[in-house]
Structure 1
Amino acid sequence: MGILENVKPGELYDANYDPDLLRVRKETKIKLHEYNTLSPSEEEKRNQVIRELLGSCTENFIIEPPFFCDYGSNIHIGDNFYANHNLVILDGAKVQIGDNVFIAPNVGIYTAGHPIDVKRRLQGLEYAIPVTIGDNVWIGGGVSVIPGVNIGKNSVIAAGSVVIRDIPEGVVAAGNPCREIRKVTEKDCMTKNFKKL
């Protein structure tokens, strides 16, 4: 993690003017540019670049470009992970993603936030709080996950949701703010005709 070890969860730090953080973010952007512009035929090179960027990963995962993050080293993904196009992860703090997680297009996972008061915000101060996504979670298109959220295993987050608080295990959740709609049941395993929530 290097310089990011100095970023303590929930505490303010200088995100806009700290030269070390700026340097690391620039290095990350260079790697992301390479990853996002490589041809699909250059699969081996793409895999090498993304593996160098992430904090930890398994052999079996796909992140469709374009993909964007702040540092990369704070992102830890489990086995059989799939993220569709335009995933954005602001990883000032740790983002832990479990096994068998599917993420639809245009999803944002944010550990970073800014002070509400103008004076500190204009000083470039920021805070970061970890995000955890459990095993077997499906996150629909256009979802936003804000700092400090934990999404329990086996849950589904409906498209367009804004997740501002923890979501329990084994539920379907939706809305702005996102909330539990119902439990995932055995009946869901037998559904042949799918409909909107």
Structure 2
Amino acid sequence: MTEREKMQAGQWYCCLDPELDDLRAHARRAVHAHNTCPPDARGAMAPELLALFATIGSDCFFEAPFHCAYGINIHLGARVFFNAGCVILDTAPVRVGDDSMFGPHVQIYCAQHAKDPDERAQGLEIGLPVTIGRHVWVGGGAILMPGITIGDNATIGAGSVVTKDVAAGETVVGNPARPLRRP
């Protein structure tokens, strides 16, 4: 089994693999094209970035700058909006439902690195999927950690670090993110 196949199967793999290096280089070229294209010419998304993603619904918008690791694991519903400075490290599937919005500098991480220093030095990591429902709002500077699911209509407060699943309709804030208690 290749390292890419291991990554896609949700197994431990070596990220220092030449095939994975090539995929990341392809993503960097697409991201560069998006980030350096004049806004009037780019529109909602540069064609190179649009072609990179696994699936994309209608009327999605990515403000520049943007960064992703592979792009091939990103699945977007319709009318998804990402503000400036967002990062998606998609070593596993990232699924975003319709009408979800992301403030500036939101970061979505799928990679979980080996905890053993020797294994980490060998480039061992595992990708854990991130799933975001429909009509979700993620405030600026929030960080979504590997393996989490955010339910429909949830709100993530600005600067929150989401380490656990968020229920549908729930609002979470803080580091680590916790449900907002209402009086």
Do Structure 1 and Structure 2 share a fold, with TM-score over 0.5?
yes
Return the TM-score normalized by structure 1.
0.87
| 2-structure distance, mates of 1:98, 1:7 | 23
* Letter of the 2:138 counterpart: I
Which of 1 and 2 has greater Rg? 1
Partner of 1:146: 145
Shift, 1:30, TM fit: 1.0
Residues 76 and 64 from structure 1, CA distance in 2 versus in 1: closer, same or farther, beyond 3 angstroms? same
- Count of aligned pairs between the two proteins: 181
Partner of 1:55: 54
Partner of 2:110: 111
Contact 2:31 2:66 in 1 (8 A): yes
* Letter of the 2:14 counterpart: D
Partner of 1:6: 6
> Which contiguous aligned blocks of 4+ residues in structure 1 show a shift greater than 6 angstroms?
none
Give a deviation string over 1:39-78, Cα, whole Å, max 9, x none.
0121369442221111110121101011100110100011
| 2-structure distance, mates of 1:177, 1:45 | 33
Partner of 1:101: 100
Partner of 1:133: 132
Shift, 1:4, TM fit: 3.9
Give a deviation string over 1:103-159, Cα, whole Å, max 9, x none.
000110000121111010011111110000000000001000010000010010000
Contact 2:37 2:46 in 1 (8 A): no
State the secondary structure of the residue aligned to 1:50: helix
Q: Which runs of 5+ in 1 are unaligned?
A: 184-197
Contact 1:55 1:75 in 2 (8 A): yes
Percent identity of the aligned residues?
A: 39
* Letter of the 1:74 counterpart: N
Residues 1-197 of structure 1 aligned to structure 2 (within 5 Å): 4-8=4-8, 10-15=10-15, 17-43=16-42, 46-182=45-181
State the secondary structure of the residue aligned to 1:26: helix
RMSD: 1.8
Contact 2:33 2:46 in 1 (8 A): no
| 2-structure distance, mates of 1:112, 1:139 | 20
Shift, 1:12, TM fit: 1.4
Shift, 1:5, TM fit: 3.8
Shift, 1:11, TM fit: 2.4
* Letter of the 1:7 counterpart: M
Contact 1:4 1:92 in 2 (8 A): no
Give a deviation string over 1:137-190, Cα, whole Å, max 9, x none.
00001000010000010010000100000000001111111111148xxxxxxx
State the secondary structure of the residue aligned to 2:71: coil
Contact 2:53 2:75 in 1 (8 A): yes
Q: Which runs of 5+ in 2 are unaligned?
A: none
| 2-structure distance, mates of 1:46, 1:80 | 12
State the secondary structure of the residue aligned to 1:88: strand
